[in-house]
Amino acid sequence: MPTCTPSAPADTASAPATASQLDVADELLTLLSDATTEPRPDTQLEALTLAVAADLPVLLWGEPGIGKTAALTQLSAALDLPLTTVIASVHEPSDFSGLPIVGDDPAEHGVPMAPPDWAVRLVRAGRGLLFLDELSTAPPAVQAALLRLVLERRIGALQLPPGVRIVAAANPRSSAADGWELSPPLANRFVHLQWAHDHDVVVRGLGGTWPRATLPRLAPEKLPEAVDFARRAVCGLLGARPKLVHQLPSSEARRGGAWPSPRSWEMTLRLIAFATAAGSSRDVLSLLVRGTVGDGPGLELLASLDRMDLPDPEVLLADPAGADLPERGDLRQAVLDGVVEAVRKRPERPRWDAAWAILVRAVETGAPDLVVVPANTLASLRRADWDVPASIERLAGVVSLSRRADDAAARTSVTAKAGQGTRAGQKVGR
């Protein structure tokens, strides 16, 4: 009778082969994840790092899959900040306000609020990047619990250290799973940045090279000047436009974004100071300002910043030959209007002559059509005993040419209207 020897399990022989294939797969995954960084201008990444340096909570708005989480992961690695990710929508309000723990004698010592483990880890590390993801899918009760965390950096009885920065991400309600609008108190605590993909950055990044996130280099010698500039900018605008101090939007959707309040203006002042000390571009400053107080007030502030650097009309009238006029047309127009207004307020013959010299200089160094309105206004300020300066002759051609162009445009408009009337009459006749 033949004997049967037990055979080895079928998967024993294949186990080493399977393990080796998984090792090869892991190696391939490692190669795919290898990437380098390079210094590359990136406006939205620079705005994000500047707000992080200013220790202000930032909220990145963007469609799903746009790269918000990847940007935060790369930012934490570049800044050497441990990343702690908390999905806001899957937590209870008590996870942010603290869990009540009954002690030995609650009547004497009260009931302390124990913080979650991730907050304890942040305190132990002393620094880190707290990433609150999926903020727009957090229900109102959770958003209310987040208020103290975002503003005061407190979770229960625990105070987060100054080295912790807070960044959140959210999808627009239209593309968020069971999305909610942000409550106005929570929205007003963030710098809102619209996150969009850059085609060139994505293509180069998929090729293995991503932009490098670096903290802005603040010039120590510029710090006092930056603070003074920021205060003058914000206080100057709000002094002239007091209604901008606080404007709660009427629609629910706009209340969940950036809007002006004393808190957000304080954040704006800080961002202007940081951007000035860092020498950031206007595009970066525009993203930050509009993301803090909203598009309307933000654009007004940016326009007033441009005018803060304009030369003083009195300085120009004192030395018209050395007048340094802005290159940008709108700024040059504002300077010329300011010069004429200064003469109107204090009309004197030398000042009137100096203003004409400045207009001549503007014609010689820029677009001549910008002087037409100031020249007509300045001519109307002439007193009977003031001789016409010879410099006016150099402007006569510009003014007359402008008038001829206006007349031609008016005649063209009249002819076009007459033609339309004729065609309409013909249709009626038919």
Q: What is the CA radius of gyration of the chain?
A: 32
Q: Which residues contact 72 (CB under 8 A, 6 or more apart)?
A: 60, 83, 129, 131, 167, 169
Contact 130, 147 (CB under 8 A): no
- pTM for this entry: 0.73
Same domain membership, residue 290 and residue 332: no
Positive or negative CA dihedral for 364, 369, 374, 376?
positive
Same domain membership, residue 227 and residue 166: no
Pairing verdict, β 113-114 and 99-100: antiparallel
Same domain membership, residue 89 and residue 206: yes
Q: Which residues pair with 166 in a beta bridge?
A: 130
* Interval 237-283: pLDDT, tens: 998 889 999 999 988 888 999 999 999 999 999 999 999 999 999 99
The continuous run of DSSP H or E covering 113 comes out as strand 113-114
Same domain membership, residue 268 and residue 388: no
Does any domain span residue 124? yes
Provide the pLDDT for residue 42.
86
Does any domain span residue 303? yes
Chosen domain end from 153, 176, 211? 211
User: In this structure, what CATH number is given to the domain that contains residue 149?
Assistant: 3.40.50.300
* CA separation for the pair 98, 336 (Å, rounded): 61
Least confident of 113-117, 150-154, 343-347, 390-394: 390-394
Same domain membership, residue 251 and residue 206: no
* CA separation for the pair 363, 398 (Å, rounded): 9
Provide the pLDDT for residue 206.
87
Provide the pLDDT for residue 139.
87
Same domain membership, residue 44 and residue 129: yes
Structural domain that includes position 240:
220-308
Cα 195 to chain center, whole Å? 11
Same domain membership, residue 280 and residue 190: no
Same domain membership, residue 186 and residue 60: yes
Does any domain span residue 7? no
Same domain membership, residue 177 and residue 302: no
Same domain membership, residue 234 and residue 203: no
Which amino acid makes up residue 388?
A: V
Does any domain span residue 243? yes
Chosen domain end from 308, 327, 354? 308
Same domain membership, residue 351 and residue 299: no
Chosen domain end from 280, 308, 336? 308
Same domain membership, residue 360 and residue 265: no
Count of domains forming the chain = 3
Does any domain span residue 26? no
